[in-house]
Structure 1
Amino acid sequence: MDSRLSPLVSAFVDIDGRRIEVFDVGTSAVGDPVVVILTGAGDTARSWLPVQTTLAHELRVVSYERSGIGASDPGSPRTVAGMVAELRGVIDALASGRQVLLVGHSFGALVARVYAARHPDRVAGLVMIDATPDLLGTDRLRRRGYRLYVESIAAARRLLPSRIFAWLVRKNALPYYPGRGPFLSTLTPEARAEWDRAVSAVFVGDAVDEMRAVLPGTAEASVELRSAPPGRLPVALLTSGTYGRGWITMHDAIARRYPNAVHRLSGDRFHNVHMRHVALTVETVRTVLDASRQPTDGPSRPLTERD
C-alpha cells in the first residue's frame, strides 16, 4: 500500500465578497480548539500537507490560501491589518463559537500574533514556526538581506518565462525551498504535481507582492504588539538557524514576552521547518494543545528553556 499523501480536497468560504480557498480536515473533540494554519509570505498551504494530515488524525485542522494565492480571489490589502481581517473571516466562517490554536510560519506567525492580541478570548494557543520577528524592520543587516532575497525572486520572475520557471520547479532545481527533499518524498505523484503547480503559480503571481509586504508589516505589527498584554496564552516557538545567531536572539525576545512560552531550536538552517521536520512541528503543536487543556487558575508556568 502506498503510504504517501494524496492532495486534500479544497472548499471555499466567502469573505467580503471574495472566495478564499480552504482545506478543512479532521475532527476536534469537544473542548479542543480548531487548529488554523497560516502560511509564510509567498507560500502555499499545500506545503503543510504532511503536518495537516498528521494532526487531522486527532484534531480538526484548517489551512487556507491567502488572497491571490492558490484559487483564492485577489483583492485583500497586503497589510497586516488586511491579513488579520482575512484570518478573522476564515475563523468566523469555519470555527464560529470555537477557540482556535493558531500555527503560523514566518510572516504567518506575525499575523497570528496580532490576531491573538486583538482576540485573546478566541485563541487557545499560539505556535510560531521560524516566525518573522516584529523587530525585523529595525535589524539593518537582516532587513537588507531580506530585500536582496525578494528582489532576486522578482528578477527571476521577470527573466524566466512561466513555462521555464514551472519546469525548474518540477525538476527541483530552484533554491527557494531548501530542505524540501523529505517533504517531496511524502507526496503521491498527484500531490507532488499539485504542489509544483501551486508553487509555480504563486511565484509567477503574487509571491513578490506578499514578500515585499513583510518589512512594512513588521513595522505595522510592532506598534501594536509592543503594548499588547501577553496574557496567559500557551505559546511555543520553533526556530531554525537559517539567519544566524541574531535571528535566534530575536526569537528569545519574543518568548520572553509570553509568560507561558516554550522555545525550541530545529537544529539546522532550513527556514521551512514544517516541511523539513514534520514530526517536530506536530510535537510542538501538541505541546501547546496539552497546555491549553490545563486549568488556567494559579500561577503562570515559567518560560521553558530552549531544547
Structure 2
Amino acid sequence: MTGTAAAHSQGEPGHVRTRDGRTVFVQRTAGPPGVPTVVLEAGMGATRSSWAAVQGAIAGRAPVVVYDRSGLGRSAPDPGPRILHRLAMDLNDVLDHVGADRYVLAGHSWGGPIVRVATAGRTERVAGLVLVDPTDEGCELYFGRALAVQERITAALLPVLARTGLLRWSTAPMRRGLPADAAADLRTEWLSPAGVAGHLAEAASTVHDLRGLQADPPDTGTVPVTVISGAETSGLGRRSRAALNAAHAGRAGLGPERRHVLALRSGHLVPLTEPDLVAGEILRLVESGRQ
C-alpha cells in the first residue's frame, strides 16, 4: 500500500535551535494571515500534548505553535539549570525562530510565569497573555513549609512511580477528549522516567524563582492579560484554592486591559477539562490584535 502518512493533529513537526545550541521540538498548525500567532506554554513537567484540545479548538482561526521544553517530550535535556529565566529565554528563542510579527502567549501553571518573563522587554510583539491557573508569586502558600514537605515527598516518589509505569496509567483521565495521536504522545512522553527527570529539574528552583518575581516583577507594560482560574479544589483543598484564586484576581486587577475568568468545571488542568473556554479567551485576544 502506498500513500502519505496522515498529518498530526498538532501540526507540522520541526526543531528550533536555542542560542546555546540546544534543539527543542516544535509543532505548528496554520491559520489565516494578519492575525497574531498563538504559542502555548505547558505547565511544569508537561509536554505539548497537554494543549492538544485547546489547539484543536483554535484550528483554522489562528496559527498555533506548541513545543516541548528541554528535557520534556521530544526535546533533549539541558545540561544547565532549568531556572525560570532560562526557560523564558528558550521561549523567546522559539518566538524568534517562528518570526511572526505579533503573538498571543498562553501559559498553563508554571507556563504562566514563563510567558510573563518572556514578554518583559519584548512587549511590542505580544498582543496578549492568557495565564491559565498560573503559578503566581502573590500566593504565599508557595512559600510555606507544608508545600516544601510535599515537594520533597513528590521528588522521592515520582521516579519510582515512573519506572513502574504507574504514572503512565494515571494519565488515562487526562487523555480523554484529546485527538488519538496527541493522546498517544501524552501517554508515552508525559510522566515517563525522562519526563519526570525534566519535571524535577524545573521544580528544583521554583521557590527561588518565585522570590525573584516578588523582588523584581516582570514588566509586561500595557499588554492585555486574561487570568483563568480553576474553581474546583481538585486536591488543593478549599483554603488553598481560595488563596490561589485571590492571587489570580490580584494579577488580573493590575491594569485596565486585564480580565479574570473562572473555569467553573475545572480544577488545575483547565486546558484538558475546559479547552473551549481557554480557546475562547485566546481567540478574543487574537481578534483584538488583528492587523
Same fold (TM over 0.5): yes
2:75 maps to 72
Q: 1:87 aligns with which of 74, 91, 101?
A: 91
Q: How does 1:206-225 map to 2 (within 5 A)?
A: 206-225=198-217
1:73-152 to structure 2, matched below 5 A, reads 73-75=76-78, 76-94=80-98, 96-136=99-139, 139-140=140-141, 143-152=144-153
1:235 to 220, 225, 243: 225
Question: Matched residues in 2 for 1:252 and 1:89: separation?
Answer: 30
Unaligned stretches of 5+ in structure 1? 295-307
SS at match of 2:214: helix
Q: CA deviation at 1:269?
A: 5.1
Distance 1:115 1:182 in 2: 28
Q: Number of aligned residue pairs: give it.
A: 274
8 Å CA contact retained: 1:127, 1:235? yes
Question: By how many angstroms is 1:44 displaced?
Answer: 1.0
Equivalent pair of 2:266/2:273 in contact (CA under 8 Å)? no
**What CA distance in whole angstroms lies between the structure 2 residues aligned with 1:217 and 1:289?**
30
Distance change (3 Å), C-alpha of 1:18 and 1:271: same
Give the C-alpha shift of residue 39 in structure 1.
Answer: 0.9
Q: Contact (CA 8 Å) 2:10, 2:55: kept in 1 or not?
A: no
Q: How many Å separate the matches in 1 of 2:33 and 2:136?
A: 33
2:169 is matched with which residue: 159, 168, 171?
Answer: 171
Residue in 1 aligned with 2:250? 253
Instruction: Give the match for residue 57 of structure 1.
Output: 60
CA RMSD in angstroms comes to 2.4
Find the residue that maps to 2:135 and give its secondary structure. Answer: coil
Greater RCO, CA 8 A, separation 6+: 2
Q: 1:280 aligns with which of 271, 277, 281?
A: 277
- Structure 1 position 26 matched with structure 2 position 30: yes
Aligned with 1:197 (options 188, 194, 205): 188
Equivalent position of 2:264 in the other structure:
267
Aligned to 2:236: none
Question: SS in structure 2 opposite 1:271?
Answer: coil
Q: Distance in 2 between matches of 1:251 and 1:73?
A: 33
- Matched with 2:157 is 156
Tell whether the 8 Å contact from 1:108 to 1:131 is kept in structure 2 after alignment. yes
Distance in 1 between residues matched to 2:142 and 2:15, nearest whole Å:
40
Name the aligned partner's letter for residue 151 of structure 1.
R
State the 1:282 CA deviation. Answer: 0.7
Structure-2 change in CA distance of 1:64 and 1:182 (3 Å): closer
SS state of the match for residue 10, structure 1?
Answer: strand
Structure 1 Cα separation of the partners of residues 162 and 244 of structure 2? 35
The alignment partner of 2:44 has SS state of: coil
CA distance in 2 between counterparts of 1:143 and 1:153 reads 16
Alignment CA distance shift 1:263-1:183 (3 Å): farther
Identity of aligned residues (%): 26
Give the Cα–Cα distance (whole angstroms) in 1 for the partners of residues 245 and 277 of structure 2: 18
Gap change, CA 1:74 and 1:159, over 3 Å in 2: closer
C-alpha distance in 1, partners of 2:179/2:228?
24
Instruction: Give the direction of change, closer, same or farther, for the CA distance of 1:191–1:268 in structure 2 (3 Å limit).
Output: closer
Q: 5+ residue gaps in structure 2?
A: 1-7, 234-239
Superposed structure 1 runs of 4+ greater than 6 Å apart: none
Amino acid at match of 1:60: P
Say if 2:229 and 2:262, in contact at 8 Å, map to a contact too: yes
Structure 2 distance, partners of 1:258, 1:61, is 27
Q: Secondary structure at the match of 1:191?
A: helix
Q: Counterpart amino acid of 1:207? A: H
Tell me the distance in 2 between the aligned counterparts of 1:51 and 1:126.
Answer: 15
Q: Amino acid of the residue matched to residue 291 of structure 1? A: S
CA drift of 1:9 comes to: 4.5
- Shift of residue 231 of structure 1? 3.1
CA distance 1:113–1:7, change in 2 (3 Å): closer
